Structure 1
């Protein structure tokens, strides 16, 4: 399936390709955004430097960002260059490619649901056969959905992905702008799929700090400093401070905006540091704010449980000594 309305890329366009074969003349690739049509990166266009080992520059199966040099639509020849691509070009192309892949995933899911909505679930009347291509293959239905929905939205909003993001909050505005609005049942599947795939999911972020204060203020100073850190919370980024084992503490949050969460955690650390230093204590950052995996969270939970058990053992020993 091609992601864009035009069947071939334009000269000077950045495209994402996958390397299929390495030959004497260069590398044969498939254009991932254009229905896997074949192109070639000429040997002279692989690198600005002298090529000592082509395998170190390019490998079969790997995705590469390249720029289009020539397109012969009649013969089907597409010449590409890797050496003329800048790091900024790579970032720009990768972002567009990921957007296009997400749109393709959404559209393919909707196309796969067309038969079930038509027949299996007994809602034939909701989506007329002629609207969805009747008994056409899923690929044909997918292309029809692109023609009727994705590509028109791309012309209006710059990219169908941007239109879908807007549709999370303003679906009527987005889909009423189409030349031919989708049938209600198709629209229902599309809207629910967009909501499921594009609604930001909360991520866990954490920062680890060591906090000490050996002045008479001691524990009270540490509590005051941690409360100052938690005060940097807001509705979108709630921050919680927890003791792991003295002097190690963690600041954690769940948020949908990673950058906003990192910023808030950094502010919390600054507030804690300022407060504890006013009381004669100190703070050391052991791990800067970052998103953490489930495995890292489990490791932390085990560490806290171990510390809790050790504290309990110490308390028990003290009780026994007192009894003696």
Structure 2
């Protein structure tokens, strides 16, 4: 199924292709956004530099951004160029392709959950609904979803993905902009799928600090200081202080906005520092507040699991000494 309303791309369009075969004349590719129709990149259009090894420039199975040079719709020939694509154009095309692929994923899931009856609108004399169509296969359902919803929204909002995002906050306005209304069953399923796939996800942010106090207040002063940092948190941006291994502690929060999370953690560190210095202690920032990446998350999980295991061992040793 193609992503866009036009069956073929236009000259000068940027498209995402996957390399199928490499021959002496050039590379045969399939256009991933246009139902995998075939195109060709001539050898002279592969690179601006002298080609010493074609395998270093292009490989079978790899996705490439190319620009359309010629389109013969009658014969189905599409000539493409890789060497004429700039770095900026490549990034722009990749972004659009990723959005289009996400739209396709949403619509394909919706299609898989709909029946043929769902494409039959209510028979109440109201002509605002799309005309009933006969669809039996999932591909036919998918094509109808593109024709009734995605392509009209693409014309209205620039890209259907933008409209899908807007549905999270104002679905009535988005569906109201369609020239004809899909059936209620289609609308319900689409809203459910979009709500699950595009809803903002909570962002985790953290910081690491070393908090010490060697006065008589000792550990109690540290606890009070950490509580002062936690109090900086809000319902929307709660802050939790967790021990890694004294004197190191981790401050963490989950929120929808990474920038707000980092700002709130910085305030928490300031509150902890003020509180511990008042008690005669010190605070040293080991790791500044930041939004955690996927690798950070894995590292943190391993670190906290290790810390919990070590704390459990210490508790066990204390119990054994008490029994002796």
The alpha-carbon deviation at position 163 of structure 1 amounts to: 0.6
Q: What residue in structure 2 maps to residue 310 of structure 1? A: 313
Q: Which runs of 5+ in 2 are unaligned?
A: 125-129
Q: Are residues 227 and 292 of structure 1, via their aligned partners in 2, closer, same or farther at CA, if it must alter by over 3 Å?
A: farther
Q: What residue in structure 2 maps to residue 30 of structure 1? A: 30
Q: Mean Cα displacement is larger for which, 94-103 or 268-277?
A: 268-277
User: Take 2:42 and 2:192, find their aligned partners in 1: how far apart are those partners?
Assistant: 45
Alignment of 1:49-198 (within 5 A): 49-115=49-115, 118=118, 131-198=131-198
Q: Which runs of 5+ in 1 are unaligned?
A: none
The alpha-carbon deviation at position 19 of structure 1 amounts to: 1.2
User: Take 1:132 and 1:117, find their aligned partners in 2: how far apart are those partners?
Assistant: 9
* SS of corresponding position for 1:88: helix
What's the TM-score, normalizing by structure 2? 0.83
CA contact (8 A) 2:225 2:273 kept: yes
Q: What residue in structure 2 maps to residue 281 of structure 1? A: 282
The alpha-carbon deviation at position 264 of structure 1 amounts to: 4.0
* SS of corresponding position for 1:251: strand
CA contact (8 A) 2:120 2:183 kept: no
Q: Mean Cα displacement is larger for which, 184-193 or 257-266?
A: 257-266
* SS of corresponding position for 1:305: helix
Q: What residue in structure 2 maps to residue 319 of structure 1? A: 322
CA contact (8 A) 1:133 1:140 kept: no
CA RMSD of aligned residues (A): 3.2
Q: Are residues 133 and 271 of structure 1, via their aligned partners in 2, closer, same or farther at CA, if it must alter by over 3 Å?
A: same
Q: What residue in structure 1 maps to residue 43 of structure 2? A: 43
Q: 1:99-142, CA deviations, whole angstroms, 9 ceiling, x for partnerless residues?
A: 11111112222222232755xxxx988599x9452244322222
Q: 1:50-70, CA deviations, whole angstroms, 9 ceiling, x for partnerless residues?
A: 322221222211112222222
Q: 1:197-239, CA deviations, whole angstroms, 9 ceiling, x for partnerless residues?
A: 1112334443344334556665455445534543453443322
* SS of corresponding position for 1:169: helix
Alignment of 1:207-218 (within 5 A): 207-214=207-214, 218=218
CA contact (8 A) 2:212 2:281 kept: no
CA contact (8 A) 1:203 1:291 kept: no
Q: Are residues 59 and 213 of structure 1, via their aligned partners in 2, closer, same or farther at CA, if it must alter by over 3 Å?
A: farther
CA contact (8 A) 1:127 1:186 kept: no
CA contact (8 A) 1:206 1:292 kept: no
CA contact (8 A) 2:211 2:281 kept: no
What's the TM-score, normalizing by structure 1? 0.83
Q: How many positions carry a matched residue from both structures?
A: 316
